[in-house]
Amino acid sequence: MIIKSLVLKKEFLTTVKETVTLAEALKVLEESGFRCVPILDETGKIFRGNIYKMHIYRHKSQGGDMSLPVTYLLKNATKTVPVESPFFKVFFNIKDLPYIAVLDTDGSFYGILTHAKLLGMLSEAWNVDVGSYVLTVLSAGERGDLAEMSKIIAKYASIAGCLTLDAHREQFVRRTLFTLPAGMDGATMEEVVRRLERKGFRVAEIDDLQQGITIRNDETSPDY
């Protein structure tokens, strides 16, 4: 349901029907300012693919027939996800696309999820309105590590955001990014860091969201 809340529904989108010509599609793209728009069937229910402005320009510059149907330059026909898709599936499918088409439970075109909207949701953990510092904590990724780190931090503050990343270098290291709530002072933050490191967790990086600076940056691989 996370994905559904981020989707721009089709009734608010600029689209073209599969029967329009390349010339007509180019006019729509130029007037809307979008670099690509969805192509739908005549009923407006079936997603056929995307049409990109750059592909039409290239076709036109090479003397191509602009009266051809827009489907002649159709792209991304299979780049769709169901509206009930888990977040990770959407994240790995959107990649370099400006957006990915989202289909309803019956396979009809529901709308699009833009790359910008997805990244915006991911960036909320670093929003200066809800966070003060981001601590990058290194651990061995053993069972109970996340719970232990969270327990230490919870003694001093709530956790505004948490993101865990895995990295493979010389040895396995797990990086967990904790966003501390807005309003936390530097002294309390330093105490949290001391408590984490006393328990064997290395705080490799500290970012001050309010000042927009990195206070500490030392990701030398620990001996886990």
Give the structural domain span for 25: 2-121
User: CA angle at residue 205 from 202 to 207, to 5 degrees?
Assistant: 140
Residue 151 domain-assigned? yes
Contact 179, 125 (CB under 8 A): yes
- List, for residues 179-219, the tens digit of each pLDDT value: 999 999 999 999 999 999 999 999 999 999 888 899 988 75
Same domain, yes or no, for 145 and 63? no
Which domain-ending residue is among 66, 97, 121?
121
Indicate the pLDDT class of residue 221, thresholds 50, 70 and 90: very low
Residues 7 and 116 in one domain: yes
Q: What is the pTM of this model?
A: 0.70
The reply to whether 132 and 87 lie within a common domain is: no
Give residue-wise pLDDT tens across range 146-180.
999 999 999 999 999 888 877 555 556 889 999 99
State the burial class of residue 139 (Cβ atoms within 10 Å of its Cβ: 0-12, 13-18, 19+): buried
Question: Band of the pLDDT at 72, cuts 50, 70, 90?
Answer: very high
Whether residue 151 is found in the same domain as residue 59: no
Residues 133 and 87 in one domain: no
CATH at residue 189: 3.30.70.260
Cα atoms in the Cβ-side hemisphere of radius 13 Å centred on 40 = 22
pLDDT score recorded for residue 224: 47
pLDDT at 12: 95
224 within some domain: no
Task: Supply the CATH number for residue 76's domain.
Answer: 3.10.580.10
Domain count, the chain: 2
Q: What is the share, in percent, of the chain residues with pLDDT greater than 90?
A: 67
Q: Which stretches within 124-209 are classed as H helix?
A: 145-154, 186-198
Q: Per 3-state DSSP, what percentage of the chain is helix, strand, and coil (rounded to 5)?
A: 35, 30, 35
Of the three residues 95, 121, 147, the one that is the final residue of a domain is: 121
Left (φ > 0), alpha (ψ -120 to 50) or beta: where does 2 sit? Answer: alpha
92-108 confidence digits (pLDDT tens): 888 888 999 999 999 99
Quick one: 18 and 110 in the same domain? yes
